[in-house]
Structure 1
């Protein structure tokens, strides 16, 4: 090679560039998928968000929910209650809930975060309960935080409705 000619790229440099491009593509795809399948849009649950929160409710509230049509009615009401709760929170909390829902709505990020490849609406109640248990008992921070967030939202929203108290055997507050 002459003195004015550049040397060919080294193998390390090529590997670094290929790796950087691959990470960028994967990161962009995951981020785009999370934006596309976000949990809420303009204060309303998206179909993806509803699948997540309905699935979590099936897992968290399984022992308290009746079977059949009554169960579907209660879960539908729960989704409406969740939207009301969401819309009454500060915008920073809404953003966090939306991020959690997006993470759990997309198959790749859901699998990486909690180990569930199957969508929430296709998973059985037992599968969902097993995933929730593994999230709760995980030694890693992300599944623990996700479990705490979705369980807290579900229970706060569900048990704040007096019409659900009889499903748990709670008669309501005592008269003083």
Structure 2
């Protein structure tokens, strides 16, 4: 088992800082970060929606047949509601992650999805998630975990998911 040296940690930290700063700069230059919330949402922006609409069914694969558009829309609404309750600093980090995944300049090299999210195949999205999950860069592993946890929390917070996993719902008071 290889040990991580201080130099390796500094390299990862420097790379991660540069990647986030670059994404933030690119996002601000393209107007992505200043973008307002999409119609019907508090936090999610129009630029976030294509990515999330493709990620949700792939992340939830096996949890429930999620091909139904209503389930994806409901999960987006729950995700938006959860993001609206985040502290500002954490909300900004989530927006930076979404910017990184939405901008074509950064999406291709970091995810392997060179076209738009709408054209991405499930296998390409699974490969991207697996690559990030097993990356040697802690920043990519954290990004993958954050994406998956946000989507899973949004789905399992919805009443229609409870029956599928055997949860009877909260007790009546």
1:126 paired residue number: 123
Which stretches in structure 1 are left out of the alignment for 5+ residues?
1-26
Q: Quick one: distance in 2 between partners of 1:101 and 1:59?
A: 17
Q: Number of residues paired by the alignment? A: 146
1:41 aligns with 2:36: yes
The alpha carbon displacement at 1:60 in A equals 0.6
Asked which structure has the greater CA Rg, the reply is 1
Q: Quick one: distance in 1 between partners of 2:79 and 2:55?
A: 12
The alpha carbon displacement at 1:144 in A equals 1.1
The question of whether the paired residues in 1 share the 8 Å contact of 2:28 and 2:34 is answered with no
1:170 aligns with 2:166: yes
The alpha carbon displacement at 1:165 in A equals 1.9
Match of 1:73 among 49, 70, 76: 70
Q: Quick one: distance in 2 between partners of 1:101 and 1:78?
A: 16
The alpha carbon displacement at 1:34 in A equals 6.9
Q: Quick one: distance in 2 between partners of 1:46 and 1:172?
A: 34
CA RMSD of aligned residues (A): 2.8
Q: Quick one: distance in 2 between partners of 1:148 and 1:67?
A: 20
Q: 1:173 to 1:45 in 2, by over 3 A?
A: closer
The question of whether the paired residues in 2 share the 8 Å contact of 1:52 and 1:104 is answered with yes
The question of whether the paired residues in 2 share the 8 Å contact of 1:56 and 1:128 is answered with yes
Which stretches in structure 2 are left out of the alignment for 5+ residues?
1-21
The alpha carbon displacement at 1:65 in A equals 3.8
Q: 1:146 to 1:101 in 2, by over 3 A?
A: same
The question of whether the paired residues in 2 share the 8 Å contact of 1:114 and 1:143 is answered with no
Q: Quick one: distance in 2 between partners of 1:99 and 1:54?
A: 18
Q: Quick one: distance in 2 between partners of 1:170 and 1:29?
A: 42
Instruction: Trace 1:91-130 onto structure 2 (pairs within 5 A).
Output: 91-130=88-127
Superposition TM-score, scaled by structure 1 size: 0.70
Q: Deviations over 1:117-171 (max 9, x none)?
A: 122221122221121111111122332121011111111111122221223x323
